Amino acid sequence: MKALLALEDGLALEGEHFGAEGETYGEMVFNTSWVGYQEILTDPSYKGQIVAMTYPHIGNYGVNGDDEESGRPWVEGFVVKELSPVVSNFRSRMTLGEYLKKYGIVGIQGVDTRKLTKHLRDRGAMKGGISTTELDPRALVKKVQDSLGLVGVDWVKTVTCESPYDFDETLLPGYEWPEKISPRSKQYFIICVDGGIKRNILRKLNQHGFRVKVVPASMSAQEILSEKPDGVFLSNGPGDPAAVTYLIENVRKLIGQVPIFGICLGHQILGHALGGKTFKLKFGHRGGNHPVMDLFTKKIEITSQNHGFAVDMDSLPKEEVELTHINLNDKTLEGFRHKKHPVFSVQYHPENSPGPHDSDYLFERFYAMVSHHA
């Protein structure tokens, strides 16, 4: 079945449908990862977005029950150059096409993803749409133009958990600690504020010595502190951080009360809570190959990233905040810490470790901070 991809600036590309039939709209973005399409699909940070993979051959190892970052895929649509006709992996339970169809997500293959990526790189991320029913380019472009944008929209409320829950993978039968991590003699209790958290983050927190309770993003600072946590973790999540005003206000009230570690959206929320501002990047950072420098050690990490907004480093109060990490591609802010309170954050996803576990030390740093203030 034919399908059509259109962008709000008039670009239209024909392809072949896979997954579900119908129409879908969202912000058109690209991801430069070679593998990990199932993790990308199930990352809640992609809510509201259509994702194009720059690697040309996708779907060859199918889909399994172990690599999901949440209970379902969150992307609005999926774009690939070539969908593998053959699935070969001992863990595979279904094809990528079957998986998308199961969850009602429209996919398109046979698209010139190189052309699409260069277009987005040069002109910036923009609204897009995929359709198997509307194949008139001008008509679909008009529908895309009339669709909902991303700036100013609170997507967090659509992906956060409905009620608190405990997560402790280390208590499951047959659990084995990772080779380079030993069980902690002291297990600290932390609250994870769910802005769109991924399971691998929770696993990493468990592995590094934390008992974890996940709470909705709307939970008040007073309710969080009433749990008497040893620390608070602010998760990743989708959309414009400036639109999540309730979370910014709650985090502002937590600063100075308890150690805080934020990543991705959590980093941006902390930036706002400390008086800073965020801005929309031209086409965002999405992939597993982004070089980041630690400004203190001068070491370079290869990081996994997925965000379309960044904290304006010049907007942060210099008397209170110290910059710790910077992106080597575009010199945008990748990390900061508070000079007085036990608070730090990074813009990337340290749980993914696309390099040789480059970013694991951040979980160690959080454990040391919590231990010091417990």
The single residue of 119, 272, 338, 349 carrying the catalytic annotation is 349
Residue 274, pLDDT > 80, answer yes
Output the six-digit token pair for 275: 């008086």
User: Is the domain of 290 the same as that of 204?
Assistant: yes
Q: Kindly give the residue spans of alpha helices, DSSP state H, lying in the chain.
A: 37-41, 96-102, 113-123, 137-145, 156-159, 199-207, 221-226, 245-254, 265-273, 361-373
Residue 351 is a catalytic residue: yes
User: Is the domain of 119 the same as that of 198?
Assistant: no
What's the pLDDT at 179?
77
User: What's the average model confidence in pLDDT over 131-136?
Assistant: 97
Residue 267 is a catalytic residue: no
User: Is the domain of 201 the same as that of 333?
Assistant: yes
Q: How far apart are CA 43 and CA 72, in angstroms?
A: 9
User: What's the average model confidence in pLDDT over 90-96?
Assistant: 95
The single residue of 69, 264, 267, 285 carrying the catalytic annotation is 264
What is the span of the domain harbouring residue 221? 156-373
Residue 149, pLDDT > 80, answer no
Percent of the chain with pLDDT over 70: 99
CATH number at residue 355: 3.40.50.880
Residue 360, pLDDT > 90, answer no
Residue 23, pLDDT > 70, answer yes
User: Is the domain of 129 the same as that of 202?
Assistant: no
Residue found under tokens 């985090």: 251
Q: Pick the residue with more confidence: 212 or 178?
A: 212
User: What's the average model confidence in pLDDT over 48-55?
Assistant: 97
User: Is the domain of 207 the same as that of 115?
Assistant: no
81: left (phi > 0), else alpha (psi -120 to 50), else beta?
Answer: alpha
Identify the band that residue 184 occupies on the pLDDT scale cut at 50, 70 and 90: confident
Residue 226, pLDDT > 90, answer yes
Q: Pick the residue with more confidence: 138 or 184?
A: 138
Q: How far apart are CA 120 and CA 8, in angstroms?
A: 11
What's the pLDDT at 329?
95
Domain count of the fold of the chain: 2
CATH number at residue 131: 3.50.30.20
Helix axes 199-207, 361-373, angle to 10 degrees: 60
Strand pairing of 49-53 and 77-79? parallel
Residue 356, pLDDT > 70, answer no
Identify the band that residue 170 occupies on the pLDDT scale cut at 50, 70 and 90: confident
Residue 257, pLDDT > 70, answer yes
Q: How far apart are CA 119 and CA 345, in angstroms?
A: 32
Question: Residue 151 domain-assigned?
Answer: no
What's the pLDDT at 354?
52
Last residue of a domain, one of 117, 145, 173: 145
Residue 192 is a catalytic residue: no
Question: Residue 78 domain-assigned?
Answer: yes
pLDDT averaged over every residue in the chain: 94
Strand pairing of 231-234 and 260-263? parallel
Identify the band that residue 353 occupies on the pLDDT scale cut at 50, 70 and 90: low
User: Is the domain of 212 the same as that of 353?
Assistant: yes
User: Is the domain of 357 the same as that of 211?
Assistant: yes
User: Is the domain of 276 the same as that of 221?
Assistant: yes
User: What's the average model confidence in pLDDT over 227-237?
Assistant: 98
